Every structure is written in C-alpha cells, then in structure tokens.
Amino acid sequence: MSLPHLALLALSVFGGATLGTALMRRLAVRYGWLVLPRADRWHKQPTARYGGTGFYPVFLLGAIWILEQEYGGAWRLLAGSAHEGHLAAAMLLGSLVMFTCGLWDDVQPLRPATKLLWQFVATSLFVYAGGSFPLTHVQVFDILLTYFWFVGITNAVNLLDNMDGLASGVVMVAVATIVVLAVSAEGVASTRVLTVPLGVAFIAAVMGFLLHNRPPAAIFMGDCGSLCIGYLLAALAVPSPLNSFMGIRTAGDVLRPILALLIPATVLAIPIFDTTLVTLTRAWRAQKASQG
C-alpha cells in the first residue's frame, strides 16, 4: 500500500470513528443507555455506554478494505497461500467474536466463565490460521502459550478500562510501537507488511473514540470496545508473518526465542503489570479478580 493510500485510510477511519462515536453518544442519551454515577466509579455525571460500537465497525470496514486492496477479494485471500493474509482474516474474525461477546455482556452481563469460553473460541481462530509464539520447537507448548497470551492481554485491556482515556491511550501507544518494529524490520518495504496499514487503521479508529473519551469522558467504550481491542492488540503483538516477526528473524538462534517473548512482553508491559497488580491486590483483599 502506498503512503498516499495509507494517509487517506487513516483520515477516513479517524473521521468515521469520530462521527460514529458521536452518533452512538447521541443515541445513548436519547434512549437512556447511560452509566449512572456510583460510589465505586470515577464519573460524576450520567455517561453514555456502548462506545465500542462507534469505532470498531469503522475499523473493521477499513481492515476489510486493506485486505481487498492487497488480495483482490475474500475468495482470493482464502484460496491463496499467503500466510499473513490468513492470519489477518482470522484476527478480524476473532475480533468480531470478541466485539459480539462484549456487546452481549454490556447489554446482559455474562458470567466470567462464559466470556472466557468466547475468548478461547476467538483465539482458536488465530491459532488455526497458523498463528502462535515461535518460542520453542514444541508445537503444543507454543500453542498453549499463545492461548495464555491472548486471554491474558484481552482481559488486561478490559481491566485497564477503568479511567477516562486510559485503555485507549495505552493501546494506541502499544500498537504504534508494534508498527514501528514492523517498519524497522522491513525498511522501505514496510508498507507491504499487513501490520502497518492494519495498525494505522487501528490507531486512527481508537483515536477517533478517544476524542470523546478523554477526561471528562462523554462516552465509555464498554466491554464491546475493550475486549475487541485487547484481542487485536494481542494478535498484532505475536511475532508472525503478519508483522514480519518484528525483526526477530535476524537474531541469532540463541536470542531468537528469547526475543520472541521479551519484545511483545515489553511492548505490553503496562497492561501486563496492571493486571498482575490488580489480581494480587484483589486476592489480598479476598476479592474476585473478575469483579468490576
């Protein structure tokens, strides 16, 4: 994808997400889809819900357009042998599963076990397409680590969504870092790495939402937003053909498996640390980690 097309994509997705979130905010106020102030929440005024429905569909359309430009249609993508294309399609389908699960949870709260089941389903799509951590030569171990990674990061972003602009801001920085690593790995050919246009569209969509979610927030993203962006972040951070392995292919045989885990963990250090801290402190207070 050329740089002018990439810039046009970013502007289009940003504009669509900004308008989509504004529309969702109006609908929420009109139909009473509001989060009322509570003693255990930060906000002081009734705040609109379902913000994820304002930006995720725009990102999804932008991502489908990217695959259309790269592969010339869904049939050619599925029938072809491009590994990165299959991974991208699986990632988008998995994110749609997580968006649907999150929206369901926003409307009618689900049990933690039910949400975990849907996270396993979404992760299975990515794993089935050939996406897993290239850590060892033992496939079972690498796949188990991948499931642990997806579930951990998805829920980490969900837990991080507790203050205005926090989850969206942290996720944008993390995705930008992944894009930079992909660019560094491929140099002048970086725009051909799918993570670059997909990451740009992702950042643009979340930025459009952030305009309405910055303190004091006018709308909350809800689980429909946090679960799907957490899943997308987890997928983009797995070293794979989707992101040109973030440069670890050029490392030595000894360093390669170490960097395969160290680089993603470093990029996502904030949500990982936050989740670990929250889990430990809630266990200390005899509270459930899944409690809001």
pLDDT over 70 at 64, yes or no: yes
Question: Mean per-residue pLDDT for 161-174?
Answer: 88
Max mean pLDDT range (47-61, 150-164, 259-273)? 47-61
Could you tell me the pTM of the whole model? 0.90
pLDDT at 260: 67
Dihedral of the CA atoms 24, 16, 92, 241 (nearest 10)? -150
**Can you tell me the distance from the alpha carbon of 177 to that of 73, in angstroms, rounded to the nearest whole number?**
29
pLDDT band at 263 (very low <50, low <70, confident <90, very high): confident
pLDDT over 60 at 252, yes or no: no
Q: What percent of the chain has pLDDT over 70?
A: 86
pLDDT at 163: 81
- 248 versus 187: which is more confidently predicted? 248
pLDDT over 80 at 78, yes or no: no
pLDDT band at 44 (very low <50, low <70, confident <90, very high): low
pLDDT at 254: 46
Q: At CA 229, angle to CA 86 and CA 276, rounded to 5?
A: 115
pLDDT over 60 at 257, yes or no: yes
- 283 versus 157: which is more confidently predicted? 157
pLDDT at 159: 86
Long-range contacts of 106-111 (CB under 8 A, 24+ apart): 106/49, 106/50, 106/222, 106/223, 106/224
Which residues face 47 on adjacent strands? Answer: 35
pLDDT over 80 at 249, yes or no: no
Interval 217-245: pLDDT, tens: 899 999 999 999 999 999 999 988 888 88
Instruction: Write down the mean pLDDT value for the chain.
Output: 86
**Can you tell me the distance from the alpha carbon of 253 to that of 110, in angstroms, rounded to the nearest whole number?**
44
pLDDT at 134: 82
Question: Mean per-residue pLDDT for 115-129?
Answer: 96
Residue ranges in 32-138 assigned as alpha helix (H): 52-71, 74-79, 83-107, 112-128
Q: How far is CA 62 from CA 177, 207, 230, in A?
A: 20, 14, 18
**Are the CB atoms for 247 and 183 separated by under 8 Å?**
no
pLDDT band at 29 (very low <50, low <70, confident <90, very high): very high
**Are the CB atoms for 50 and 58 separated by under 8 Å?**
no
Per-domain boundaries in the chain: 3-284
Q: How far is CA 178 from CA 16, 20, 56, 284, in A?
A: 23, 26, 20, 34
pLDDT over 90 at 69, yes or no: no
For 47, phi and psi rounded to 5 degrees? Answer: -125, 140
**Are the CB atoms for 54 and 229 separated by under 8 Å?**
no
User: Can you give 153-218 as a three-state secondary structure string?
Assistant: HHHHHHHHCCCCCHHHHHHHHHHHHHHHHHHHHHHHHHHHCCHHHHHHHHHHHHHHHHHHHCCCCC
pLDDT at 273: 85
